[in-house]
Structure 1
Amino acid sequence: MKKSLTKQITAGIGLALTLLIANAAISYHHTQKILENERWVSHTHRVLTALEATLSTLKDAETGQRGYLLTGEERYLEPYQRAIASINEQFANLQQLTTNNYPQQQQLRKLKRAIDSKLAEIQETIELRRSRNLEAALRVVKTGRGKQIMGGIRQQVAAMTEAENRLLQLRSEESQASINTAMLTFTAATLADLLLMAVVYYLVKRDRTLRDREEKQQNQLLEQLDRDRQSLALTEERFRRAILDAPLPIMLHAQDGEILQINRAWTELSGYEHSEIPTIEDWTEKAYGNRKSLVQADIDRLHQLNDRVSEGEYIILTASGETQIWDFYSAHLGKLSDGRSLVISTAIDVTARKQAEAEIRMLNTTLERRVEVRTAQLQAANDELEAFTYTVAHDLRAPLRGMQGLAEALLEDYRDNLDDLGQEYAQQIVNSSEQLEELIQDLLDYSRLGTADLPLQIVELDYAVGEAVKRLKTEIEKRHAQISIRSPLPAAIAHPVTLIQVIVNSIGNAIKFVEGREPQVQVWAEEIEIPIGGVGETETAREWERAGAPVGAVPPCPPPSPIVGVGENAELPVTASEKTIASCPLPAKQSVFG
């Protein structure tokens, strides 16, 4: 058996070496052929490049001819002179490159005659322009002979280019075929070598595998028995520790009333050791007193069940005399080896929760009264604030209307006596009075912010910022401030008057808090991401729809604490009572103010 195996291995190795040597020889042959094909492909590319260069040189000569004929200046002949100097060298290069191609040599002889004719025609026109005048040269050009010669040259170059392209395609195909053949041969030989090596490896491993298999099977059986024994011991230890160290009270008891195990949590909460309550009867007598028989009957029924059961809450008496409330859960664990039924019972101490529930019920009885008293106090404060606001607004309106009326009368009766600046001042008094009238009305609305919602609508921020700048015109001119607005600004959902006033305050503060130089204020809008959610989300969606937004478009308006930034490093928080003037990203890069 060993001699036969050795002969098989030797034969396999010899055959593999033979295939490797043959593969190397074939690969070398195909590699040489690929290199030869690549040299011819490169040679064809050089021929194509030389043809393009020759045609380009003739075009340069024509360019120099046209420039000289039009201007008569010798400097325009530079392209022509460079072409004359290089055309013969380029043509000689073409002849050398196509030495082994007889058809192309014939085409080159025709091309040479055509090039000489074209250069002679160019030289003739140049000499006529130089010795006589432009008209004499143009008569030669208008005969069309030069154009006809150049057309023939292009056709000959195109024919030669097409022939070289056919050669290039043929040589590329031959090169690719050689590559494919080399790859196929190499792959086949390599696969054969790998197959032979696999056979040799199989023969070597087969004998070893047969000898080791029986020994391995025996060792595996022994190891499996040992693992099963250890796993069983580990499982029993884990189960015991899970029972003993569990955070909830746990008891294991048999059908005849014997308590097999209680854990540490049971002992810590009840105060009873296992030795003090070895049976269910002992446990019920100590923990339940005169209710012992009722609880005993409930526990006996557990051994007749097969599913997990919630027994409910029981009041127990601990060893220290303390009363606790435990919520019991039990499950049937099957039968012991002696045939007795085994049940596991767990409990949750809910004493603290029951006490907290009692306290909550007691607090709820007085909560409504405290809410009513607090509501009445808040309503009284709001009524006083509204009354005060109405009084202040009434006192402000009287002189304001007088000032506004006098300014309007001045414009109506004495307009002709005022120059343009005076009329502008008077008109600004009227406009400022109207704005102050709006602010007084807004002051009244502000007093009702705690009890009424601000009506929202879609507002163009370009309009709102423009109105704010108009109101600050005097201050801007006084401080020589420069206001830069990055338009277009997005649309917003807002209370228009409040939004304009917020922008006025922000820009005004930005102007005021710049010292020692002219204020430069920039106003822009940018989109930020704010987490969605929070109280008020549903109501904001309703305002969004009432303002004319598409049905189903819900604006992401969480309750943020926004920062409105205007001016040079100015970040001004703007709030109104408990309602925040905020912005949130909207579809189409809009913002919501609410």
Structure 2
Amino acid sequence: MKLSVLSKISIGFVALLTTASITGAILVQIPLRQNVASRWLQHTHEVLLELETVLANMADAETGQRGYLLTGDRRYLEPYDAAIAQIDAQLQQLKVSIADNPEQQRRYELLERQIEAKLGLMAKTIALRSNEGFEPAVQVIFSGQGKQQMDAIRALINEMEQEENRLLERRIRDYRAISQLTTQAFLILLFLSLALICVVYYLVNSDITSRKRAEIENLRLLQQVQTERGLLETVLRQMPAGVIIAEAPSGKLILGNQQVEQIWRHSFLVADNVEQYCEYKGFHQDGRPYNPQEWPLARSILSGEVVIEEEIDFLAGDGTRGTMLVSSAPIRNAAGNVTAGVVTFHDISDRQLAEKELRRREAEVRFLNEALPLGIFKLDSQGNCTYTNSRAQEICGFTVEEALETGWRRFIHPDDTRQLWSQWLPAVAAHQEFCGEVRYLHRDGTVRFGRVKVAPLFSRSEAIGYVGTIEDITEIRAIEKMKSEFISVVSHELRTPLASIRGAVGLLSAGLLLNEPETAQEMLEIASLDTERLIRLVNDILDLERLESNKLTLVKRWCDAAATMRQAVESLQPVAEENEITLSLSPLSMRIYIDPDRIIQILVNLLSNAIEFSPPGATVWLSAELGSGEWGVGSGDKGDGETGGVGGENTTTNYQLPITNYQSPTPELLFTVKDTGRGIPADKLETIFERFEQVDASDSRQRGGTGLGLAICRTIAQLHGGQIWAESVLGQGSTFYFTIPLVQE
């Protein structure tokens, strides 16, 4: 049976398509294999770079350590500290990178132990240099242990690099082999395609034998075109989009379906040329009207432009306005010339309204998410984070990018990780809600507490993800802790004198001391002293509460600073004499605007503490001086002012003002109370101004202290606009400062 030209062409096309499909399938697999090989090459380079980085950081750490050991200057520890901060993360990254290679994992375990030992030795030598001096630290270096550890580290890294270089050479060979296969497959496809094209061309050319046969075929094709035109018109009438076909180059509209009239809301307007397109009223997005040549159909006919989904505002026949989405393309003949153009358009006015409403609702949801005081986050079904609002980022201390996927897990406190997973995983497996408290390591260095609630999201009874909230309860927990501690301390402070009073009164009321008047008198004195202490404790608590809640009004007036200081010293003179303490006063006579009773309360409290903690025969100094508000290293001979102990002949001749960090922009008066007692530990210099904080609680109880005096002093000083602070050297005494800003009279 003789095959027709169309059949031969079809057979050739099928053969060409089959060959192309088979070769194309091969070519599709080759890039995939190339991509895999390329990723392995990149992975090997990354492992080599990580090994070099670990070695470089260890060398930096060793260089910084030795610089500090030689000089004692802590600036040399900057490369050491920087390297220490990075080594752990780099080792973890290296461990992940070599997870596919058991041999490299074995070397990594040895390397990790060697690095840990080396870092421990470096930390030990730094501590020796810092605490014991140069010689003990150098002895450790001369032992050679550090060099042996570093040599072992270099050897292990060298072995791992050799292994990676061997893998790199093998993977380069694989990559080159795949590239050669790609070239060969492409050449084969090209050769087969050319061969099949030649065969098809030969078969077609051989069957066209006469002009008559061609004319008959053309007539048949013309009839077929007319039939297809009818089919096209039928299809156009059924299409949901408006369609218009125009001739080229005139632009005459020759065909339009019914949807054109429905969208424009008027009958089809026939145009004989492009200039008559002005009958259709269209507008750009900025409001400018469309010129006839600017319509997409005109551009396709005149310049062959293809227009894809251009938004055009239009004025319909009924006077309403809307928006349409327009696409147009030229129709070309075999020679490539434009013979016609076709345009399609959809009315998207309703869709735009719906999208606008959707955007408005989305904006409302985003606003609510950002405005809520709760942190909000969303996880997919695998537990990967896909969204966090700004409040969640603020609570946990991460950015949006850092929280995505599994990044949020890095910010959970390590001590809470196991407990969190033990509660979270069963809830996830059962598609149940989860509620718990977890700690986060904030980027500012603080630990934040959060209350987390997570609920599953379902679609057709299948869990597709989770949405959760996190509430910052750090301050709530701190307040609860402070409340508990406050109640515990106050109850203890109240219970101690009450127990003493109860015991003394119990003995007296039972009549057991009727024949021992001296012992009975001692019991009465104990009860009296503890009663006074209890009254002072209650009064101090009430005073502090009124001061901090601004319920206590300061009664300020103009006073002489020297007179205020003398009054404070005179009130404590009997106590000083009883404890064999000399009070030395260096007053400064000037007018200040203060509440004198409260300032005297501060001075009396500070002087009382100095007397209590000074040995017999010691001196306690009270002085005042003017300042610009910037207190640094200062000294001065106070002999120019009024000196001398109250009620004695003691004098103050060369009083040193220590180094402080306090600065204020306004002139002020600085009061100083100095003693030569046992001093205050450095870690107590700040906390002694807190409630119930004492340097030696047992000794203070014996003297009747409540642990609230310095807290009251700080609050009074702050209400006057000043500050109070302390400096001390253990065994050499303490110095308390407080300032009063100066105002014009």
The interval holding the TM-score normalised by the smaller chain is 0.3 to 0.5
Which structure is richer in relative contact order (CA contacts within 8 A, separation 6 or more)?
1
Q: Which has the higher helix share?
A: 1
**Considering only CA atoms, is the larger Rg found in Structure 1 or Structure 2?**
1
TM-score norm. by structure 2 comes to 0.27
